[in-house]
Chain A
Amino acid sequence: MYAFEYHRPTSLSEVTGLVSGKEDAKIIAGGQTLIPTLKQRLAQPSDVIDLGAVAELHGIREEGGGLVIGATTKHAEVAGSDIVRRLIPELAELANGIGDAQVRNRGTLGGSICNNDPSADYPAALVGLNATVHTNKRTIPAEEFFTGMFETALELDEIVTAVAFPKPGRVGYAKFPNPASRYATVGVLVAEVDGAVRVAVTGAGPVVFRWPEAEQALSSNFSAAALNGLTVDADGLNADIHASAEYRANLVAVMAKRAVVRAAG
């Protein structure tokens, strides 16, 4: 790991002050991606700004009937939260399937979505549940937040503060985990939000995407059978040593059906 200057601010205004003056600064929350990246010398930040002591970025609350989760809230906290279990229990299940127990004790919601790994679970949750990302400057609809592989709509000095989820109807999430990393080879979240069905797919493409044909089919018949015969084009999907694009395309349909079964169950 290259040397860097470490900062531990205690307020959001202190964070923004530190970030704006430093072009090569990196923000650390749980560090479950950043620290391995630094160890491999894939990044060389001049400064590392730790959000761990900024209380206003942390916590889970009910607001306007929906759920607001602070950026530095850990996966284990989402998984174990009574509020999440009551309002969106499938979101707690999703969080409980990220990485392993030790990663869930450190990794955060904000860190995961800002990194925007194409195989991460949370992007499917945010897009599928029509969430809104709150930053220190504005609010961004989830679909506009995730712009490309490891790319987001965030500006250089912009910081995610929280994510707001409206209360959904039925929700189901199913993923085919990579057996070593538990990242989603393909993960599909199916949800009823404001009377419409949304189907969000992670792991399959360079960035999370919706599957409109499946949404249409499920709108008239919310059952796994409604997806029979629907296929996803493998063109442009991810291919690596774990799964070809064609295999991922097939997994999208399989995981979508399993997600519907979970949602309906």
Chain B
Amino acid sequence: MTSVSLKVNGKSVTREVEGRTLLVQLLRDHLGLTGTHVGCDTSQCGACVVHVDGESIKSCTMLAVQANGLEVTTIEGLAAADGTLHPMQAAFREHHGLQCGYCTPGMVMSAVDLAKSHEHLDEKTVREGLEGNICRCTGYHNIVKAVLAGAEAMRSQPAQAAAE
């Protein structure tokens, strides 16, 4: 067993894990943060996307020990303490960017990273940026609309976007 210490959604945590424990297992099974989903478990679907030091990654394809000393943000860490949704979450609700909701946590986490790393987002950039996230319900149309609106809202509400 190896000791791993990291920050998850702003809180410091330390756990004993095996070398083979995946980051997503640490989040879901050890910390009870089940908002991060496991879809394919083969690095393709993106349901498990979280942020590690601000960058979106697939938490089913990273060892928990590799996150030692780093900061992880999951879908549970996006909304404000009073429950106010992050602008990207609000945009997904407003534009109905989901049907069954299984892929949604990963979609939102990828979208937040995409919005932060591009000064200007257009439809093509969003569709390419979501290549690592698979939705089997929606056909992506409303997801793309939601990401564009969410990115716009993040720009006009910089204080809240910076808070997460």
> Interface residues, chain A, CB within 8 Å of chain B?
1-6, 8, 28, 31-32, 35-36, 38-39, 48, 50, 52, 76, 99-103, 105-106, 180-182
Indicate if B18 sits at the interface (CB-CB under 8 A): yes
Please give 18 more A-B residue pairs, beta carbons under 8 A apart, in addition to A8-B68, A31-B61: A4-B19, A6-B2, A8-B65, A31-B66, A36-B43, A38-B20, A76-B55, A99-B132, A100-B132, A101-B110, A101-B113, A102-B56, A102-B132, A103-B43, A103-B58, A105-B57, A106-B61, A181-B44
A6 touching B56, Cβ below 8 Å: no
Chain A residues near B58 (CB-CB < 8 A): 102-103, 106
- Distance A5 CA – B19 CA, assembled complex (angstroms): 6
- Distance A152 CA – B43 CA, assembled complex (angstroms): 25
A102 touching B18, Cβ below 8 Å: no
Chain A residues near B19 (CB-CB < 8 A): 3-6, 48
B56 touching A105, Cβ below 8 Å: yes
Contact A101 B131, CB 8 Å, known A32-B43, A36-B43: yes
Docked complex: B45-90 residues within 8 A CB-CB of A: 46, 49, 55-58, 61-63, 65-66, 68
10 shortest A-B CB distances, which residue pairs?
A100-B132, A6-B19, A100-B131, A1-B20, A105-B55, A102-B132, A102-B58, A35-B61, A105-B57, A102-B57
Chain B 97-132 per-residue mask, 1 if CB under 8 angstroms from chain A, else 0: 000000000000010011000000000000001011
Contact A102 B44, CB 8 Å, known A6-B2, A48-B19: no
Contact A50 B66, CB 8 Å, known A5-B19, A102-B58: yes
